[in-house]
Structure 1
Amino acid sequence: MAKTTTQYVCTECGWNGPKWYGRCPECGQWGTVEEFHEARPAAKSRTAAPGRTSRTQAQAVVGEGTVKPISEVGTESVARIPTGFGEFDRVLGGGIVPGSVVLVAGEPGIGKSTLLLETAGNVARTNPDGTVLYLSGEESQAQVRMRASRIDAVQDNLLLASTTDLATVLGLIAQEHPRLAIVDSAQTIVSQDVDGISGGSTQVREVASALIDTAKTLDIPIVLVGHVTKDGSIAGPRTLEHLVDVVCQFEGDTQTALRMLHAVKNRFGPTDEVGCFDMSGEGIEEVADPSGLFLSASQETVDGTCVTFTLDGHRSLPIELQALVTKSVLPTPRRAVNGVDGNRLAMLTAVLYRHGKVNLLANDVYVSTIAGASAKEPACDLAIVAALASAATGTPIARSTCAIGEISLTGQVRPVPQLTHRLNEAARLGFTRAVVPATRSGKRRGGSAPKGIELVEVTSLRDALDALGLTKRR
């Protein structure tokens, strides 16, 4: 076994030093400094001392190098490997790049293994002449086979292996030379060359470094599954995210079937794209147009609802806000939210009372979104206030009307970024009227309003309530 030297590494920021601290000297986090044993190379693998290297050896080393002028480096594009999911390909920037290392992290039971196993089946199906290697350190081959049968991912050229030994993993990848290799997960693989428990900083760093070196040397793309901690961050040292090429977060509410895939880091594409998936008993299904997931199926006009449009990367998504206002029998009225920031709701309730003359301070207020959508963007303020005023006055808002805008503490309706992009999606879904913030210059950034939709520009909360018809019954 190779000799090791002991260091202490912060799992949050990557700081390292020879002494343990309860609080990281770099980032100030408590309890993040862990012991790290760095393996030293064997004596026979070390290079000769300077001045003792022969000219023949030096010429051999230079001959093996690939140094060339940048003007002579080719710019031909690399053929990406499609995953079989258009949503996954868009998040990755067009597919998996050969020789890259992709880290997919998410909470337990969110569907990481199911997504990647179905991806392995898709790649194996579209590449019958090659193989796809699925290495599981958490489940046996029989367990993986059962899931593959359920999601229709059984292919003759999809190879399964169940092991936790790093040397075995590297040997299988080098032996099979697959079209794609998936390791599930990085925290379960153990190297016998270094000390440390499975999933610790020492083991995770050693495993990641070895897999990255193999991917670059053999030009084989490797997808790693990563665990997350209780606060949602990726488990293991922070350097794991710096080493890999792509970091994706697979998120979603376990109570709903909607799943979102975000690219936190991407060396080969944008990091503001999001992929939508639907979790079902037959596996993962992509949702190319998620607009219908966040809107109520009923076309009946009822009070207490308002639709807005939020941005998730380059994609504009409609969100329906629902509000319920009841008379409180408690000394302190209740404020319950789902998909909305509770502190933001308290602020908007006070602004609605002060500048909109709608008193909800003594009422129980409940605000929720459809299908677990998140309406925490400031651009959703106007729709939240409109839903509250609609529920309080008993005045419904037309189903063809949407509201987009941020509300300040002074009762002003402030502009939001990429408004034209939101309005284009609203027009595509059939909305004919939109209450939006007024621009200072009178010209809208990003172009004119889309055809088929009427814009009602407002500058204050009172003007917005009047435009939505929520002041008639007050």
Structure 2
Amino acid sequence: MVKKSSTVYRCAECGHEAAKWVGRCPECQAWGTLEERGGANPAITRVAAGAPSAPARPIAEVDVESARAKSTGVPEFDRVLGGGLVPGAVVLLAGEPGVGKSTLLLEVAYQWAVTAGRSLYVTGEESAGQVRLRAERTGNVHGEMFLAAESDLAAILGHVDAVKPGVLIVDSVQTMASPQVEGSPGGVTQVRAVTAGLVALAKERGLPVVLVGHVTKDGSVAGPRVLEHLVDVVLQFEGDKHSTLRMVRGVKNRFGAADEVGCFELTEGGIVGVPDPSGLFMSRTAEPVPGTAITVAVEGKRPLLGEVQALVSSTSMPQPRRAVSGLDSARVAMVLAVLEKRGKLKLGDKDVYVATVGGMKITEPAIDLALVLALTSSLHEVALSPRLVSLGEVGLAGEVRRVPNVARRLAEASRLGFTHALVPPDSGKLPDGIRVLEVGDVASALNAANHAQ
């Protein structure tokens, strides 16, 4: 009788266990993530009681001053972090190559040196001279800003001991390696070991650490999933390479709201926070143009006015063209079908082009009503009122459904000078200063838009 082996192989990505090693995890389909683990059954293992590191205290007696967030000196970055960097916090900033992660963190290191004390910027992707040249170009040079080009975790710890910074920035975690762990930099084992070492450093010394992370083709954080679990804050840095607009979006935050968004503009002189970005997402024309409609999207907790543009034109091609930029193409196709069926509009033989202004990307259903108005305006060559905003989700039956945060959206529209708004029925208490028209379906919305001039 052959004795059954107690060795198991566990996936570092999803935790799936297998009796034998395989190259690809059968659960999450990740390659090379199964690692050998011991065979003792944790269900029957008894752990002896140990001495606690500190006695438990009533929660009201716990000191919170040591955990207060400290401002980085970059207000838009502080907004996403929940007020600033908490001592001992580990922040992971992920984004596509060239989006401006290093430029933003150089600004953070400079502002910290100006307002709070020493900062240490460690790069494993560039030489110290290259970083210095970029810092001079963006005006981010200060005597309390320290720079090191290292890719070894032990050397980073040595720099921390020598400099004693108030914040540590590591660019990037995929280029660092721990001498105690086998594997090449960027591999699953090395990334996990380096992150765990930096997390331990942050917690032991109360040192805020900001890590730069790469992303995969689908936009998710590269590396093992445990990387996101180890850190305290995960931020996604987004931006279109054809636009100067950049957004830092919170994905996970143990110290604040996880749905906040910070807006920046990337220029030749560096990166600048945009505290009031609504103007970036609307075109500035002297006269109203058919095919444009204004809506108010909510990014995190921030209402942003955006412009939806539509162009409907005749075509001689047997297959009409549909092109979408900045919106969900599947949702645009659904709205077109609703207008054909419920609005009695003939769009089957028309080319349809739909886009947003300023590189804004909107996926929430609240934009549906503005899309309906823009398409109808372009088809009939009738411009909408430049002081009209519209909010609402459009259903397959042609009804206009409620959306969240209507009052907050309309307050922002009123602040920017809009006087009329189309909203779904029963939207709750709405702010003064803007005339609100409730519409229950597509037909009544089109009729109301024609009279809101």
Q: Which amino acid aligns with 2:435?
A: E
1:379 to 1:84, Cα distance in 2 relative to 1, 3 A: same
Deviation at 1:346, TM superposition (A): 1.6
Q: Is the 8 A contact 1:131 1:178 kept in 2?
A: yes
1:69 is matched with 57
Q: Is the 8 A contact 2:25 2:34 kept in 1?
A: no
Deviation at 1:418, TM superposition (A): 1.2
Q: Is the 8 A contact 1:456 1:467 kept in 2?
A: yes
The partner residue of 2:215 within 223, 228, 232 is 228
CA distance in 2, matches of 1:16, 1:75: 41
CA distance in 2, matches of 1:171, 1:386: 61
**Secondary structure in 1 matching 2:375:** helix
CA distance in 2, matches of 1:346, 1:259: 28
Q: Which amino acid aligns with 2:21?
A: W
**Alignment partner of 1:203 is 2:184:** no
1:29 is matched with 28
**Secondary structure in 2 matching 1:214:** helix
CA distance in 2, matches of 1:256, 1:286: 15
**Alignment partner of 1:469 is 2:447:** no
| TM-score (normalised: structure 1) | 0.88
1:97-155: CA deviations, max 9, x gaps? 0111111110100111110011000000113xx32111111111101100110111111
2:262 is matched with 275
2:401 is matched with 414
1:70 to 1:159, Cα distance in 2 relative to 1, 3 A: same
**Secondary structure in 1 matching 2:447:** helix
The partner residue of 2:283 within 271, 283, 296 is 296
**Where do 1:332-347 residues align within 5 Å?**
332-347=319-334
1:37 to 1:285, Cα distance in 2 relative to 1, 3 A: farther
Q: Which amino acid aligns with 1:9?
A: C
2:71 is matched with 82
CA distance in 1, matches of 2:8, 2:164: 35
1:16 to 1:164, Cα distance in 2 relative to 1, 3 A: farther
Q: Is the 8 A contact 2:90 2:199 kept in 1?
A: yes
**Secondary structure in 1 matching 2:28:** coil
Deviation at 1:37, TM superposition (A): 7.9
Aligned residue pairs: how many? 438
**Where do 1:293-332 residues align within 5 Å?**
293-332=280-319
Q: Is the 8 A contact 1:349 1:361 kept in 2?
A: no
2:375 is matched with 388
**Secondary structure in 1 matching 2:283:** coil
1:107 is matched with 96
The partner residue of 2:112 within 101, 123, 128 is 123
Q: Is the 8 A contact 2:25 2:33 kept in 1?
A: no
CA distance in 1, matches of 2:230, 2:109: 23
CA distance in 2, matches of 1:268, 1:138: 30
2:413 is matched with 426
Q: Is the 8 A contact 1:294 1:319 kept in 2?
A: yes
Gaps of 5+ in 2: 1-6, 39-46
Q: Is the 8 A contact 1:81 1:97 kept in 2?
A: yes
The partner residue of 2:433 within 452, 467, 473 is 452
**Secondary structure in 2 matching 1:468:** helix
2:21 is matched with 20
1:471 to 1:214, Cα distance in 2 relative to 1, 3 A: closer
**Secondary structure in 2 matching 1:300:** coil
RMSD: 2.3
1:157 is matched with 144
CA distance in 2, matches of 1:74, 1:276: 35
Q: Is the 8 A contact 1:199 1:236 kept in 2?
A: yes
CA distance in 2, matches of 1:118, 1:18: 49
Deviation at 1:236, TM superposition (A): 0.9
Q: Is the 8 A contact 1:395 1:470 kept in 2?
A: no
1:403 to 1:297, Cα distance in 2 relative to 1, 3 A: same
Deviation at 1:82, TM superposition (A): 1.3
**Alignment partner of 1:189 is 2:170:** no
CA distance in 2, matches of 1:336, 1:32: 36
Deviation at 1:16, TM superposition (A): 5.4
CA distance in 2, matches of 1:379, 1:103: 31
Q: Is the 8 A contact 1:132 1:158 kept in 2?
A: yes
1:46 is matched with none
Q: Percent identity?
A: 48
CA distance in 1, matches of 2:59, 2:192: 35
Q: Is the 8 A contact 1:427 1:452 kept in 2?
A: yes
Of 141-150 and 169-178, the range deviating more from structure 2:
169-178
Q: Which amino acid aligns with 1:385?
A: V
